[in-house]
Amino acid sequence: MTESEIQLKAIAALTALRGGVAQDYVSDLLGEIIPTQFLVPDTDDAVEVGAAILEQLTHPVSALVRGFILAFETVADAYDQTEFGTSTEELLQALALAIASDSE
């Protein structure tokens, strides 16, 4: 799967969640980016095997995160151009404070 295809999955997942689609469907959609088969080196070294698998997972997960960031930046830029008075940064700071106070 290409990086663009993975980014499109991230945007589709966000769109689906905002549209009220079941979370199971969204989980399945995002699960499609995870490889189902891995190339594993012929070795008894667990560290080497783990590193090989991690390397193969890094690309799709990074592309997914980039897709979420791209979607967020697009929505945040559009929101900040409105006249609501509260900036995206202020909303994120309030969210961070709420999360921090919930974890205490």
| pLDDT at position 104 over 80 | no
| C-alpha distances out from residue 32 to 28, 46, 55, 83, Å | 6, 26, 17, 39
Which pLDDT does position 103 carry in this prediction? 79
Composition of the chain by helix, strand, coil, percent to 5? 70, 0, 30
Using CA atoms, how far apart are residues 11 and 17, in angstroms rounded to an integer? 10
pTM score, whole prediction: 0.81
Instruction: Write out pLDDT tens, residues 2-30.
Output: 999 999 999 999 999 999 999 999 999 99
Lookup result for tokens 């990086």: 3
Using CA atoms, how far apart are residues 67 and 87, in angstroms rounded to an integer? 22
